Structure 1
Amino acid sequence: MFAALRKLFGRSPDEPAASPPLSTAPPRAPRFDEQLVPQLIHDHRELVHLYEQIGLLPERDRWDLLPAQLLAFKSQLEAHLLAENVRFYNYVEYTLRDDEENFNLIRDFRREMNAIARGVIEFVKKYQQPLVTLAERGAFIADYRHVGSLLVQRIEREEGSLYPLYQNV
């Protein structure tokens, strides 16, 4: 079979496969995208809206919808975090790589923001099963309020302190 593939790709069956060349090119610099910050802010608005909708479920006694709503929120949050980590933080860190003080500040911010994100994801995972007892529902409401305050804190800090950096570096 391998002989046939080698023949198909122009090598004799006895000729060894060529080793891939080692890349000596420097890594590509992340590019600035003028639409990134507006898109991330738009994501924040959608995430807050989804989160608020989740908070209305207990008021409407629609606990049955909770797991699906949390999963939808988690999916959208993860997509936002991926864009933020790959496009925003990579660009800012790359741009500030020679400015040790600001580079370390951004790194610390990134770690803090990722810790908050992990807390939100853990919250979502925790409440994927149906909540039937009053104690479970009470715990959910308390956790919901706590996670909501973390989410708001994260959004305010990103939009107030971090996103302007992207546009000014």
Structure 2
Amino acid sequence: MFFFDLLFGNKKNTSPPARETAIVNAPAAVSEDRLASAPGTSIHHDAELIVTLKEDHGRLLRVFHEIAAASQAQDLMKVQSWLKHFRTLIQDHLLKENVRLYVYLEHLLENDATSHALMHGFRHEMDDIGRAVVGFLEKYKEIGQHPELARPFSTDLAAIGEALVARIKREEEILYPMYSAPS
């Protein structure tokens, strides 16, 4: 829970910049597939979860590119604003993954040792990446008031970007296909 304390600890104003608004998904109609739950849990399979998580990835990457563009333009106040929005998006995404994806897969894959171990590896890897992202966001949360942070920012941003892009690719190619309705 240390990771979540770090990630969710800063609850200051997280309003997105004017160009990026959060998309709130309205509850979908409940289908039979959505009522299927993982064995030993009341967490139901959600036929739209993977689509939603992939949409989150798209939003995260778009905001990341806005951060990079603002940094390139040396608009540190805009960088700061986009970083706040990025924090909100990643918190939401990671919470969805931890509660709705990993807990479900934990129960679904309990009789498949290989897939279960792979899923656990993804979960622990994300904890490490999450700590790095939280550290990055914490370090630069007031970059608009501290222009001396601009110099190391570009290097740190590139490193975070590489880790996120690689992680997103692996999730979408390996982890997300494991998510299915119980048979």
Which range, TM-score by smaller chain?
Answer: 0.7 to 0.9
1:160 and 2:173 are equivalent in the alignment: yes
Counterparts of 1:151 and 1:28, CA distance in 2:
30
Distance 2:93 2:114 in 1: 27
C-alpha deviation, 1:61, in angstroms: 2.2
SS in 2 for 1:29: coil
Unaligned runs of 5+ in 1: 1-25
The structure whose RCO (Cα within 8 Å, separation 6+) is larger is 2
Match of 1:131 in 2: 146
Post-superposition offset of 1:168:
7.3
Partner of 2:79: 66
AA aligned to 2:86 is F
What letter is aligned with 2:46?
Answer: D
TM-score where L is the length of structure 2: 0.72
Specify the alignment match of 1:29 in structure 2.
42
Kept after mapping to 2: 8 A contact 1:29/1:94: no
Q: Is 2:50–2:176's contact at 8 Å kept on the other side of the alignment?
A: yes
Larger Rg computed on CA atoms: 1
* TM-score, normalization by structure 1: 0.78
In the alignment, the residues of structure 1 paired with residue 158 and residue 146 of structure 2 have an alpha-carbon distance, to the nearest angstrom, of: 17
SS of the aligned residue for 1:107 comes to: helix
Identity of aligned residues (%): 33
How far residue 65 of structure 1 moved from its aligned partner, in angstroms, is 2.1
Amino acid at match of 2:133: V
RMSD of equivalent CA atoms: 1.7
Q: 2:111 aligned with 1:98, yes or no?
A: yes
List gaps (5 residues or longer) in structure 2. Answer: 1-38
Contact kept? 1:30, 1:94, Cα under 8 Å: no
Counterparts of 1:161 and 1:155, CA distance in 2 = 10
